[in-house]
Amino acid sequence: MGNNKKYVVDANFIKESIQLDLSLKEFLLLLYFENADDPTFDLERISQKLKVANEDILEAFNNLISKNLISMVSEKNESGKRYDKISLEGFYKALQEDLNKEKKGLVKDDIFSKFEDAFKRPLTGREFEIIKAWLDKMYAEDLILRALDEAIYNDTVSIRYIDMILYEWSKKGYKKKEDVDNAAKNSFDEKKLEETSVWDFNWLEE
């Protein structure tokens, strides 16, 4: 790392560092490794670059190791000689997990609002927990919303009714909305398909 080289930091890198409650010295050391072309633990060089005392660098380094955010991996250089390189895989893994949680949270918020729109009122605590349980069971969002549409069409907009529909679909192996639509279409012969909407299929009495 040249002395005139400036650090580059991504917004998610900063956000995750705050989320992990890193100290300033831990953050600076992590940032140093992130920007290094070939990150190694050279105490004197790091101390000079960051303008931080050796003992503080060592403390920050040990803290990052203990938090499983960095690790030392053995690699070979061009001459075949082995050396210890700093890996940020632990930090990147934590960052990705938090990004996935954030993305999932946005989906949950969206699906909750759709249920509230359909119910024309705020969800009760129990209703909220049941929908959350559906998501935790890995029901696809489009499958849950398809069940909600089914309930709306049958004028039976209740959590219990939707839960029964999802349970029946789960037993049949349906994983997504497309599975339900295809099954409904295949349940009618060509003539009935022309005369009857797929919404008229009674999933609970099949």
Return the higher-pLDDT residue of 145 and 10.
Answer: 145
What integer best gives the mean pLDDT of the chain? 84
Rg value, the chain, Cα:
27
d(CA 40, CA 7) in angstroms, rounded, equals: 16
Whose CA is closest to 69, among 13, 134, 147?
13
Q: Is the dihedral of CA 46, 52, 55, 58 positive or negative?
A: negative
What is the pLDDT, as a whole number, of residue 44?
94
* Beta-ladder partners of 85: 73
* Helix-, strand-, coil-residue percentages of the chain, each rounded to 5: 65, 5, 30
d(CA 159, CA 127) in angstroms, rounded, equals: 7
What is the pLDDT, as a whole number, of residue 54?
96
Q: Choose the weakest-confidence range: 36-50, 97-111, 112-126, 190-204.
A: 190-204
Q: What is the DSSP string of 80-127?
A: S-EEEEEE-HHHHHHHHHHHHHHHHHHHHHHHHHHHHHHHTSPPPHHH
What is the pLDDT, as a whole number, of residue 190?
47
Sequence-distant (6+) residues with CB within 8 A of 140 are 175, 176, 177
pLDDT digits (tens, 9 = 90+) for 44-64: 999 999 999 999 999 999 999
Contact 20, 98 (CB under 8 A): no
pLDDT digits (tens, 9 = 90+) for 162-198: 999 999 998 888 888 888 888 877 765 444 545 555 5
What is the pLDDT, as a whole number, of residue 159?
94
pLDDT digits (tens, 9 = 90+) for 115-172: 999 999 988 888 988 998 898 888 899 999 999 999 999 999 999 999 999 999 988 8
Domains and CATH numbers, the chain: 11-87 (1.10.10.10), 105-205 (no CATH)
